[in-house]
Amino acid sequence: MAIEPSGLDACTAHLKTCLKNIHQVIQKANEILCSISQPSVCSEVLQSSRGADYISGVVEVYRLSKRMEGGMRTRNIDCERLRLVLRDIELSWNNLQAFLSICPSLLQALPSQSALEDVAEGVFSDSSPCLQSCCGVCLLDRSVEKLSSEEKNCMINIGGRLYHPSCANFWLHCVDSTLPNLACHSNCSACVKLNKDEL
């Protein structure tokens, strides 16, 4: 069962908005590092505690884009507009890694590309997973995430929706002051059961 057209449009708009903001954050990091003319000064900035914290935050933003890729795979969302934004994110990320190469200790501290790609692994399915069981931002269903049980259990419930803390944090600080709450498809058996239980 695929997501209904109106639900697909809402999911696509949601994903595009978030991915564009992710791209802006990574692009801004590139602009900041590019504005430092001396490699030695750039290395000094990156090795400072504030610089390392900043890059750590940018890495977490990039990780969110990979989770969103996984959410798209899980929901069989394949849209040219989203592929273009994901491509732009990858180009900006690769460019940022080139800057980080002047600071090998920081580059080594980054998660491996394979670890980041694992986050993007979604499970293709003929059915559309219930939106109530996934993160309201990245749309990745926690049952298909390649995360430890401790990481899966750290999702937070806000207003009856689940969110990864880092996803909710990004959305609230970089997208909108209200967390997203996408409606599930009308044939979702989990939502139908939930609605019956509430009666």
Q: What is the pLDDT of residues 139-156, one digit of tens each?
A: 887 654 455 545 545 889
- Closest C-alpha to 148, from 118, 190, 128: 118
Confidence of residue 26 (pLDDT cuts 50, 70, 90): very high
Count of structural domains within the chain: 1
- The predicted-structure confidence for 169-197, as pLDDT tens digits, reads as follows 999 999 999 999 887 655 555 554 544 44
Name the residue range of residue 137's domain.
5-198
What letter represents residue 119's amino acid? V
Please give the Cα distance from 144 to 107 (Å, whole number).
29
Please give the Cα distance from 51 to 57 (Å, whole number).
10
Q: Say what the pTM is.
A: 0.81
Q: Give the rounded percent of residues in the chain with a pLDDT score beyond 70.
A: 75
